């Protein structure tokens, strides 16, 4: 390896490391602040010492669990998020498979509609959705948190793009062996599609675990309150103590950090594979 190539590699990795540190610095500061006494959180913000607590303790975490029933709110969020994900993975993968591997009347029109609806942000239809939930009497119920987000155009499109790359010969071989369309999907297609399922899992988990606006609209009591709504309660009493807020935010971030650590490989592969065909 030439000196020029070695220098380029060093510069490349140093540059990427610097960019990564810039992006991850707010997370590091949040975790560090959660371990500090209240008086130390905003001291030394113009120096690197702000990322290293001088008097680290778990007092802020203890206060979080004393002030609110954090375990219950974590359980509420996990329940409704995982139900949405499971239904999304099942229903939208079947829809995507049909659009990728079956021919039927109106298929192109349906695919065009799916792609077109991806343009609309959730905020644009939030009020009509709320009115519909109210008319159905679903306000402050699990149904209002789950049902509106089961069918997703983006998930259907992602599954469709991935399934396009599955060889038709494989499906024909399964048919010759006596597998019907349903059995072929569950026993042949799903086992080899782990990357796209992991991708949708991550995207769904992040979106709904962090969702604040929709639960704020439809959850009116404490029984079904999610973790993001629970964190908001720390801003409702004066004076506002940022130590418990940082601790609760850190607790909220743990599931996402673990998920990305263990599933990032499948996420990258899934994003790459769904962009091969158009």
The predicted pLDDT at position 45 comes to 78
Q: Residue ranges of the domains in the chain?
A: 1-57, 60-273
Q: What is the pLDDT of residue 273?
A: 59
Where does the chain show beta strands of DSSP type E?
none
* pLDDT value for 129: 92
* pLDDT tens, residue by residue, 37-93: 988 888 877 788 888 888 888 999 999 999 889 999 999 999 999 999 999 999 999
Report residue 204 as tokens. Answer: 């769904």
Q: For residues 52 and 42, what is the distance between their CA atoms, to the nearest angstrom?
A: 12
pLDDT value, residue 52:
85
- Compute CA 241 distance to the chain's CA centroid, rounded to the nearest angstrom: 28
Gap between the Cα atoms of 246 and 55, Å rounded: 16
Judge contact between 141 and 215, C-beta under 8 A: no
Q: What's the confidence (pLDDT) of residue 277?
A: 42
User: Which residues 6+ apart lie within 8 Å of 219 measured at CB?
Assistant: 140, 144, 145, 225, 226, 229
The confidence score (pLDDT) of residue 133 equals 94
- Domain 60-273 of CATH type 1.10.3720.10: yes
What is residue 272's predicted lDDT score, i.e. its pLDDT?
A: 62
Cα distances (Å, whole numbers) of residue 160 to 70, 113, 204: 39, 14, 17
User: pLDDT at position 276, please?
Assistant: 42
Q: Report, as ranges of residue numbers, the positions in the chain whose pLDDT lies below 70.
A: 1, 267-278
Query: Which residues lie closer than 8 Å to 56 by C-beta, 6 or more apart?
Result: 35, 36
């Amino acid at each position: 390896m030439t000196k020029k190539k070695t220098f380029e590699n060093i510069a490349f990795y140093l540059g990427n490391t610097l960019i990564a540190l810039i992006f991850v610095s707010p997370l590091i500061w949040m975790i560090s602040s959660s371990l500090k006494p209240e008086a130390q959180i905003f001291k030394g913000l113009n120096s690197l010492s702000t990322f290293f607590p001088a008097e680290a303790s778990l007092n802020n975490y203890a206060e979080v669990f004393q002030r609110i029933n954090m375990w219950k709110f974590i359980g509420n969020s996990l329940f409704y998020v995982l139900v949405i994900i499971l239904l999304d993975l099942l229903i939208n993968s079947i829809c995507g498979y049909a659009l990728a591997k079956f021919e039927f009347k109106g298929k192109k029109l349906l695919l065009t509609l799916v792609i077109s609806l991806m343009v609309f942000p959730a905020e644009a239809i939030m009020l009509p959705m709320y009115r519909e939930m109210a008319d159905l009497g679903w306000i402050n119920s699990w149904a209002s948190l789950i049902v509106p987000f089961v069918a997703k155009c983006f998930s259907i499109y992602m599954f469709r793009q991935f399934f396009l790359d599955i060889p038709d010969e494989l499906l024909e071989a399964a048919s010759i062996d006596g597998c019907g369309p349903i059995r072929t999907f569950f026993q042949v297609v799903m086992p080899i599609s782990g990357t796209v399922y992991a991708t949708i899992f991550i995207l769904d988990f992040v979106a709904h675990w962090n969702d604040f606006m929709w639960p704020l609209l439809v959850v009116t009591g404490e029984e079904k309150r999610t973790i993001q709504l629970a964190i908001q309660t720390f801003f409702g009493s004066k004076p506002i103590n940022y130590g418990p807020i940082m601790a609760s935010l850190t607790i909220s971030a743990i599931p996402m950090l673990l998920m990305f650590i263990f599933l990032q490989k499948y996420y990258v592969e899934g994003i790459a594979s769904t962009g091969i065909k158009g």
